[in-house]
Amino acid sequence: MRSSLLSIAALLLGVVSAAPADPKPATAAVPKPDADGKYWIHGKGISAAFVPYGASISDLLIKDKNGVVRDIVMGFDNATHYTLDKAHAHLNGVPGRYANRIKNSTFEIDGVRYKVAANDNKTPEHPQGLNTLHGGPDGWDWRNFTVSAYTNSSITFSIVDPDGKEGFPGEVVSFITYSLGDMTWDFKMVAIATTKKTPIMLTNHGYFNLDGFSNDQTNLALNHTFHLPYSGQRVDVDDILIPTGDILANKKGSVNDFWSKPKQIGASFNDPEIINNCGGGCVGYDNCWLVNRAQNGPYDWRKDGYVASLSSAWSGIKLDIYSDQEAFQMYTCNFQDGTMPLKKSQGLKDNAKFPRTIPKYGCLVLEVQEWIDAINQPQWGRSSKQIFEPGGDPYVLQASYRFSVA
Ligand SMILES: *[C@@H]1O[C@H](CO)[C@@H](O)[C@H](O)[C@H]1NC(C)=O
Ligand SMILES: *[C@@H]1O[C@H](CO)[C@@H](O)[C@H](O)[C@H]1NC(C)=O
Ligand SMILES: *[C@@H]1O[C@H](CO)[C@@H](O)[C@H](O)[C@H]1NC(C)=O
Ligand SMILES: *[C@@H]1O[C@H](CO)[C@@H](O)[C@H](O)[C@H]1NC(C)=O
Ligand SMILES: *[C@@H]1O[C@H](CO)[C@@H](O)[C@H](O)[C@H]1NC(C)=O
């Protein structure tokens, strides 16, 4: 069963390399993790490292406009720290089997109500939490994935999520492939419900700072410029970030307008509407914008324009995100508190100016994904993209992160 699924998924993802006549024994060319437990892959002008914990990207290296190599993702120097870290920031991994929040830790499929493990918004009456975030207290990004395939330019992780784990119905088998090309980082995620109908929603929860956390003018990411050309609407949320069911317009010039023109992340931070924009008492962004493009007719997500773009004038690094997903979450690291350390590859030579830690607003999380908590909003009509069953279509997410330097 497993191996046939593996070959189905591998075919789907095109991870099976053509394997032309290789004179060397297969083992000779297989790259190994480095002394820090990281799996490095390489493309043209780009290198990246990954760890099995959460199938996370730990390092992403690009040269800036001055030719200086910048490591633009948050992470740890050593693979072992990912398991040990108590803060658990969902550090560049794959939250699963259902990313983001599930209202009241419950959902219904075919008239059956399921209760999943809560882990978010803990209160005295609900010590475990009021809702479920990123798949529960032992969601996918708290576990080690298996390295299923590994070449010099690509790595595939797999996970088997058992029936009943965290309260979810049925087994899910998933493959995550990351590959590097010419200044590109592509990923493909596929997941299959093997035994029961179940919700599935994945993403990559990457924390970025396009200055490599080394900007000598500011250690914040608020001067990064952001553009969401298809996102005239967003999901309305309550004060604990649970969708209310409403879809809101992002009026031109308002704090959540990143569609009418590219705008610096911090440009609306003086607008009173930024207060409570990311939940009660929260100033900043932690929002789910819709990607509305199907109404213009069929489109090819690989060619017909990015869904999101982020750039920094300081480093000159620009990231254009192409994806088949129809929502986009952006988070301004509102809960970073200056305790997360930089990696050795990051920070200023003269450490006197800024501490070697990441402050509030010092990073940005970018997530291509489906409409959040749509399993509890049936009127949105997203169930074919959120609920999967044995013998049905697999869950598929594809994205291409394309870099350039100005
Ligand atoms: C670094 O990671 C490797 C592999 O995960 C581990 O064996 C080693 O002890 C770690 N070293 C430190 C200093 O944490
Ligand atoms: C929350 O879920 C429980 C079942 O676990 C249910 O009894 C309760 O009515 C739900 N509350 C709300 C507000 O939906
Ligand atoms: C993940 O693997 C590492 C290296 O083998 C190990 O130290 C760690 O305990 C594992 N973590 C989990 C959550 O299984
Ligand atoms: C892997 O890619 C790097 C960077 O392009 C290159 O230096 C190295 O020789 C490659 N290794 C193999 C085994 O092809
Ligand atoms: C950086 O952002 C701040 C706050 O939004 C703004 O006042 C400042 O002009 C920006 N600096 C640059 C160089 O764009």
Tell me the per-residue pLDDT of 253-287, one tens digit each, with 9 for 90 and over: 999 999 999 999 999 999 999 999 999 999 999 99
Token pair in block for residue 291: 């990607």
- List the residue whose alpha carbon is closest to atom 4 of ligand 4: 42
Q: Please give the pLDDT value at position 9.
A: 46
Ligand with the closest atom to the CA of 222: 5
Q: Which atom of ligand 4 approaches the CA of 152 most closely?
A: 1
Q: Residue whose CA is closest, atom 4 of ligand 5?
A: 266
Tens of pLDDT, residue by residue over 69-121, are 999 999 999 999 999 999 999 999 999 999 999 999 999 999 999 999 999 99
Q: Which residue has the higher pLDDT, 31 or 336?
A: 336
Residue among 101, 102, 106, 376 to mutate when testing ligand 2 (max atoms within 8 A of CB):
106
Q: What are phi and psi of 189, to 5 degrees?
A: -125, 130
- In CATH, what number is assigned to the domain containing residue 239? 2.70.98.10
* 15 DSSP 8-state letter: -
Atom of ligand 5 nearest to the CA of 265: 5
Q: Whose CA is nearest to atom 14 of ligand 4?
A: 152
- The H or E element containing residue 159 is strand 154-161
Mutate to test the pocket of ligand 4, among 22, 42, 155 (most ligand atoms within 8 A of CB): 42
Closest-lying ligand to the alpha carbon of 270? Answer: 5
CA triple 96-102-106, angle to 5 deg: 110
Q: Looking at residue 350, what is its pLDDT?
A: 73
Q: Which two tokens stand for residue 148?
A: 């299923």
Q: Please give the pLDDT value at position 25.
A: 47
Q: Write out the two tokens for 7.
A: 């070959």
Q: Which ligand gives the minimal distance to the CA of 224?
A: 5
Instruction: State pLDDT tens for residues 319-334.
Output: 999 999 999 999 999 9
Atom index in ligand 2 nearest the CA of residue 115 equals 5
The single-letter code of the amino acid at 366 is L
Burial of 203 (0-12, 13-18, 19+ CB in 10 A): buried
Distance CA 55, CA 155 (A): 10
The confidence score (pLDDT) of residue 307 equals 98
- Condensed to tens digits (0 to 9), the pLDDT of residues 200-213 reads 999 999 999 999 99
pLDDT, position 351: 67
CB neighbourhood size of 170 (10 A):
20
Q: What is the pLDDT averaged over residues 2-6?
A: 43
pLDDT band at 61 (very low <50, low <70, confident <90, very high): very high
Rounded CA-CA distance 330/248 in Å is 16
Question: How far does residue 205's CA lie from ligand 4's centre (Å)?
Answer: 27
DSSP per-residue string spanning 286-329: EEEEE---GGG----TTTS--SEEEE-TTT-EEEEEEES-SEEE
Count of structural domains, the chain: 1
Q: Which amino acid is at 299?
A: Y
pLDDT in tens, 114-160: 999 999 999 999 999 999 999 999 999 999 999 999 999 999 999 99
Tell me the mean pLDDT in the region 191-195.
98
pLDDT in the model for residue 31: 74
Percent of the chain with pLDDT over 90: 90
Residue, of 79 and 296, whose pLDDT is higher: 79
Cβ of residue 223 lying under 6 Å from some atom of ligand 5: yes
Which residue has tokens 């879809």? Answer: 247
Q: Is 205 a catalytic residue?
A: yes
- Give the model's confidence band at 29: pLDDT under 50 very low, under 70 low, under 90 confident, else very high: low
Q: Which residues have a Cβ under 8 Å from the Cβ of 163 and sit 6 or more positions away?
A: 169, 170, 171, 195, 196
**24 has a pLDDT exceeding 50:** no
Residue 326 appears among annotated catalytic residues = no
Residue 26 clears pLDDT 60, i.e. is over it: no
Residue 387: domain span: 2-405
Enter the pTM of the model: 0.92
The catalytically annotated residue of 90, 134, 166, 205 is: 205
Mean pLDDT of all residues belonging to the chain? 93
pLDDT at residue number 352 = 75
